[in-house]
Structure 1
């Protein structure tokens, strides 16, 4: 279905489709940060409470009360930013909802019925119940919140993965009708994408926690808790960063099988080798893909390495972009760089984890100020890599919303440019004010450090009751938001 704005584009050839894509990309980019930290912090809180119950070391209890404040704020911002995206399915992408709602609607409903209700049921106990319920019940509540975040991730990734590799459906009267829910949920890319996203959340959180500990050590604040959080985060990073690289490799092989055009665009690979060619193809470390001239300019190549990485053989071959119709090609100029940014940051994380082991063995992990400054600088890199990976995945799916079934240009609502431009401008202003304030407050809490632990002699008597804060939920955000705001104002 053609768009009115595509025939007579306004605003310097910017169409309503372009603005709708930019708006959704902007809101998702903001939103994805908060669930990633929520997933990681929920599991970290469960580990901290479990360690305290097992050892009775008060530093774990201190850290739990410290990070639960940041978790609550982050959780609230994640819920609010997620609601806005749901509205856009109806306002900007109504034809997508009409076409694929039979699959995506139930999957998102399952998330609410399982994950959200689970989290909502136990979140209050985790935040309010430290001195009101027994330690066993409180620990169970913390674990259930962590499990709830992972269940939520599962349903969201099932929906998004189906859009990447759809199966288990038939199309009746122009609409997708699920015929096999197990096939819909466990579509070919789902296991890899679920693992990749979940580990990315843990990597991002580990780097965030490490940066917080390093910052406090540089400022000589909360020395014992800061050392503990830095130590735990560095061990976590050492383990999961290499695992993430392995999962990413497997995900790449899956993408090559089901979305070969995306891989070709990521690699800036234009020409398919003649049949029988045994020279393999190079890895382009750097270049500038030109979509019009169908070439990657200024390419710096490593012979055969592309074959080794993508096919696990020195003479393997993949299709070049020229083998795909121009209308079906992703924008290589963009995802060539976003993919390399993600990989470069991932390699940096692995090296950073190894450096932590070296310094730990030399007894300098907490004393080397250059390393501590590096840890602070590395703090946001997990989220930067996550965003780069998400952009690679979603832009690489273009020009499809549901891969091979529904084009993006056919999914967008029929709006003029003006209303979408106005709402996009409003989103930009409100998001930076609202979420910028929330992020600033979280960083302020980090800078303050754990309460009652400014000295090395941390005792249970010095540990405060956790803040009385409840994040906003999609079911009753009004009253809950008011309660949270009132409670936070008292601390």
Structure 2
């Protein structure tokens, strides 16, 4: 068999797509939430005339522009892989997935691209009303883009509304059933909320960084931290509820994935335990060193105290997903979600005690948790996609059937090239974003491409103007 470093073309193609899609999705996960945050900041400035919101808008819009660009560029690479590494998949599913991807470009990407320039550079040229409209359209466009992409992905997990023609292609029979497939609403709500939560933790982490560096007298810093803590307090518990509902939907349509996520190698007929930790031994078909809570798993999965649940012992070995990978990435995602909830509640407690900006340990926790949303998102997607294996279209097309007849040496060489180039190019972009985040939003903050900031008072330094802006009732607005 043709191999590269002991790996065949199928494994290498999967590794290449997994690497590029994981690298790509961290940027949309951030930019989807950040686009909405920018729309809120812009609207708050227009409503209150408080320049703290304008400074924050100009601070974050530069970061958004870079993240958006890197998301677009990293996403283009994946479309080429459909032709090079997954041509059989493209040919067989093209009649269904091709139009959906085209709709994403026509309805979402064009909307984002058409209004992005106005949002970035047009405030002084088109007036505040049209600029606000453009900012809102960019935010709406990112959400529409996610909607189409998730419809495509969800159909691959819960396919319906299709037929098979004489040459083995999936052909559409009911577009409404294809688009609004059973897992789509749950996956869309869970993913969009994850994007907003991811952005809230990044914004909160940046605010915490500046608070820890003694910049608590900066209204922009205080405002961004306060807004982030509000968002975390709302979305963290909501995300847990949505994740639970998504899990119940998965149990109905992809029960084998739930067996792997929960680590159930054996069937349970009288009460389903909750496996907290353990080491899945897939070859032996058992959970080693398992730490369980009796019957609680059945309550979580709404099977009842004495409920039953089939295990992987009812599944053929060739139909099992990689259990250890699914088991542990699921726990990473859930564990981070619990920590997020804890930070949200901590923020509410500090706010109630009027110590939101003085609680140093809360700031340290928020800074540490800054990138946690990105980690949770990647862990969640690994759980979802690895749990679907060995199918690329669940129950209808195996991943082994979808790969191109391509040489393993070629896939391996391109994989190495991707790793090197991605870490060099996108690593430089991430470092530049971190550099932009490292300075606090000041009076005179410029927008994209040097858009002029607020007019400074003659003879008054930016620091003096900031101090003056904190006097009196304005200080209360930041909460």
- For normalisation by structure 2, the TM-score amounts to 0.92
| C-alpha distance after superposition, 1:198-241 (max 9, x if no partner) | 00000000000000111111123472111100000000000011
Secondary structure of 1:217's counterpart equals helix
The verdict on how the C-alpha distance between 1:329 and 1:136 changes in structure 2, with shifts beyond 3 A counting, is same
The verdict on how the C-alpha distance between 1:443 and 1:172 changes in structure 2, with shifts beyond 3 A counting, is same
Does 2:446 match 1:464? yes
The match for 2:181 is 187
Shift of 1:399: 0.2
1:55-70 correspondence runs (5 A) = 55-70=48-63
Does 2:213 match 1:231? no
The 4+ residue runs of structure 1 with deviation greater than 6 A are: none
Q: In the alignment, which of 228, 235, 242 is matched to residue 240 of structure 1?
A: 235
Q: For residues 447 and 138 of structure 2, what CA distance do their matches in structure 1 show?
A: 19
1:217-366 correspondence runs (5 A) = 217-221=211-215, 223-273=218-268, 277=269, 279-366=270-357
Secondary structure of 2:380's counterpart equals helix
The match for 1:411 is 402
Shift of 1:366: 1.0
The match for 1:375 is 366
Q: For residues 415 and 207 of structure 2, what CA distance do their matches in structure 1 show?
A: 37
The match for 1:133 is 126
Q: For residues 348 and 464 of structure 1, what CA distance do their matches in structure 2 show?
A: 35
Shift of 1:12: 5.3
Shift of 1:304: 0.6
Q: Extract unaligned runs of 5+ from structure 2.
A: 452-479
Q: For residues 468 and 181 of structure 1, what CA distance do their matches in structure 2 show?
A: 46
Secondary structure of 1:401's counterpart equals strand
Secondary structure of 1:448's counterpart equals coil
The match for 2:472 is none
| C-alpha distance after superposition, 1:334-353 (max 9, x if no partner) | 11000011000001100110
Contact 2:59 2:447 in 1 (8 A): no
Aligned residues: 449
Q: Extract unaligned runs of 5+ from structure 1.
A: 1-7, 454-461, 470-491
The match for 1:165 is 158
Secondary structure of 1:280's counterpart equals coil
Q: For residues 466 and 442 of structure 1, what CA distance do their matches in structure 2 show?
A: 13
- For normalisation by structure 1, the TM-score amounts to 0.90
Shift of 1:317: 1.7
The verdict on how the C-alpha distance between 1:168 and 1:348 changes in structure 2, with shifts beyond 3 A counting, is same
Secondary structure of 2:354's counterpart equals coil
Higher alpha-carbon deviation: 216-225 or 119-128: 216-225
Higher alpha-carbon deviation: 195-204 or 314-323: 314-323
Q: For residues 326 and 465 of structure 1, what CA distance do their matches in structure 2 show?
A: 56
Higher alpha-carbon deviation: 123-132 or 72-81: 123-132
Contact 1:130 1:465 in 2 (8 A): no
The match for 1:109 is 102
| C-alpha distance after superposition, 1:159-180 (max 9, x if no partner) | 0000000000000020000011
The match for 1:489 is none
Q: For residues 403 and 468 of structure 1, what CA distance do their matches in structure 2 show?
A: 50
Q: For residues 465 and 248 of structure 1, what CA distance do their matches in structure 2 show?
A: 37
Shift of 1:465: 4.4
Higher alpha-carbon deviation: 311-320 or 258-267: 311-320
Secondary structure of 1:318's counterpart equals coil
Q: For residues 327 and 365 of structure 2, what CA distance do their matches in structure 1 show?
A: 27
The match for 1:45 is 38
| C-alpha distance after superposition, 1:88-123 (max 9, x if no partner) | 000000000011011111111000000011111111
| C-alpha distance after superposition, 1:231-289 (max 9, x if no partner) | 0000000001101000100000000000000000111101223xxx4x31101100111
Contact 2:159 2:181 in 1 (8 A): yes
Shift of 1:466: 3.5
The match for 2:11 is 18
The verdict on how the C-alpha distance between 1:308 and 1:428 changes in structure 2, with shifts beyond 3 A counting, is same
Q: In the alignment, which of 135, 140, 145 is matched to residue 147 of structure 1?
A: 140
The match for 2:466 is none
Q: In the alignment, which of 191, 195, 201 is matched to residue 201 of structure 1?
A: 195
Secondary structure of 2:325's counterpart equals helix
Contact 2:55 2:220 in 1 (8 A): yes
Contact 1:34 1:78 in 2 (8 A): yes
Q: For residues 22 and 40 of structure 1, what CA distance do their matches in structure 2 show?
A: 28
Secondary structure of 1:449's counterpart equals coil
Does 2:30 match 1:34? no
